[in-house]
Amino acid sequence: MKNKISVAILGLGRMGGAHVFAAKASPYIDDIIGYEPDKERAELRGRELEIKATHNLDDILSNPDIKLIYIAAINEVHCELTVKSLEAGKAVLCEKPMGETLAEAREMMDAQKATGGFLQIGFELRYSKMYQTVKDWIDQGLIGTPVNCQCRYYCSEFHLKNSWRSNSSGTLIGEKLSHYLDLPRWWFGSPVKNVYSLSAPNFVPYFNHSDNHQINYKFENGAISVLNFIMGIAETDYDDPLLEILEKQADDGHYLQYHIVGTGGAIETDVFRRRMRRWKFTEDEKQLRSEIVETITYTKEDDTEWMHNTVGQNIAIAELVAKGLPPGSSAHDAYETMKLCYATEISEKESRIVPLSEIK
């Protein structure tokens, strides 16, 4: 095929491995090189992932054949690596969060503006069929005007003691919940007006950041949304290969659901039940009535594509870059989601409603 490109993956941990898998599956990529700052780790991960790997970033930045850089390194270097890559003329897909602070997010956006380069942030849920179906149903007017969105997210990723995640001073709002604040922004298509968030004392004793958040936010068009997150109570997954894990998790305290209610119907997404449903509201002379009119289920084999489509996202981005097209969603749009994340942190710190207009 014409227009094949070489790519680099910075950070070869768990997510870096997923990026390598996606790059190998892309018909638009003909060469992959990985990067880890430590020489031995670069060699080890290169061998394990069966790719070339270097510990010298300049090997990558100065190589004119490399057109696209996927950044899957720890959060504290997202900004630095993005700015360097853009300045070297590379297209960039950087994992969320967009920087560890709002200032870093702005620096990343400014670097994109200054270079005119390609920068997309890895909000891969926008590439996942379940959430794309929500967008389609809303855009088709199947639930009327969306007015209220509720997200309940309970999981038990009790990250290991003394890992970068547990020790991070960055909150889980940017690191984890940015995905789940980004989706309603995308679905509702209205700017966020303000946010009020609460957080109780931790129950995970060794986290350096909060393990629970109740984030309420209001859109300019009057719609409201809440994200209710706790790092628990779900049973711990011990990675038993014999266990059909989602089947168990569907009723052991795991929840990842959205309920989006509109003037003409409602939508439910339910990751742990591999199901989405749509209600239709009709009004007769006596009352308003609600009926489930559509149910979609999918199988274990379709999990990635339906609920966490990093592979699809990365392949789509390689195609855009190979064809010289702009990002699927702009750096500015990602910055708006990060603004909501940082306004949420301010709200929790200062116990007040924070208007997004306050944040530049």
Ligand X SMILES: NC(=O)c1ccc[n+]([C@@H]2O[C@H](COP(=O)([O-])OP(=O)(O)OC[C@H]3O[C@@H](n4cnc5c(N)ncnc54)[C@H](O)[C@@H]3O)[C@@H](O)[C@H]2O)c1
- Interface with ligand X by CB under 6 A: which residues? 10-16, 35-37, 41, 72-75, 77, 95-96, 122, 124, 175, 310
CB of residue 271 to ligand X, shortest distance in Å: 13
Q: How far is residue 155 CA from its own chain's centroid?
A: 16
CB of residue 122 to ligand X, shortest distance in Å: 5
User: Closer to ligand X at the Cβ: 21 or 357?
Assistant: 21
φ, ψ of residue 324 in degrees (nearest 5):
70, 30
Q: How far is residue 92 CA from its own chain's centroid?
A: 16
DSSP 351: T
Residue nearest to ligand X (CB): 13
User: Closer to ligand X at the Cβ: 28 or 123?
Assistant: 123
User: Closer to ligand X at the Cβ: 15 or 250?
Assistant: 15
CB of residue 294 to ligand X, shortest distance in Å: 27
φ, ψ of residue 311 in degrees (nearest 5):
-60, -50
State the Cα–Cα distance between residues 279 and 46, nearest whole angstrom: 49
User: Closer to ligand X at the Cβ: 16 or 117?
Assistant: 16
DSSP 210: -
CB of residue 278 to ligand X, shortest distance in Å: 26
CB of residue 324 to ligand X, shortest distance in Å: 25
292 sits in which H/E element: strand 288-297
Q: For the chain, how many residues are written?
A: 360
State the Cα–Cα distance between residues 249 and 286, nearest whole angstrom: 41
User: Closer to ligand X at the Cβ: 143 or 177?
Assistant: 177
Query: Which tokens go with 185?
Result: 């922004």
